[in-house]
Amino acid sequence: MPRSVNAVASRARRKKVLKLAKGNFGSRGNVWTVAKNTVEKGLTYAYRDRKNKKRQFRSLWIQRINAGVRAYGITYSEFMGKVNAKGIALNRKVLADLAMNNPKAFEKVVKTVK
């Protein structure tokens, strides 16, 4: 009996990977073995950096809040401790946005906390 290789499914798999590798330089975009490695590595970086993006944004929000509250003579840690103690339900993302784009509202939050 002849060997069955299921060429249709194999070709579909390869096309899928080559489509993801589109735009890469040279053989990275059109040679199956090279493209496969490139795509695997790229997907690994994508997964990792979705997590890193969250970390970096949280860090940015903390820096912005800290810069905002320093003008009122408080540190970030004191401010956040008092915000939580008062039960103010504003997260870091919202507080950072207020500090940057709406200083008057942010000042009211700081005065409430003090």
pLDDT in tens, 47-101: 999 999 999 999 999 999 999 999 999 999 999 999 999 998 889 999 999 999 9
Give the pLDDT confidence score for residue 3 in this predicted structure: 82
How far apart are the C-alpha atoms of 103 and 28, rounded to whole Å?
49
Distance CA 39, CA 53 (A): 20
pLDDT value at position 22? 94
Which residues make Cβ contacts (< 8 Å) with residue 29, sequence separation at least 6? 18, 21, 22, 23, 35
Query: Average pLDDT, stretch 24-37?
Result: 95
Residue type, 101: N
Neighbours of 40 (CB within 10 A): 12
Nearest to 69 by CA among 28, 110, 17: 110
pLDDT the model gives residue 2: 80
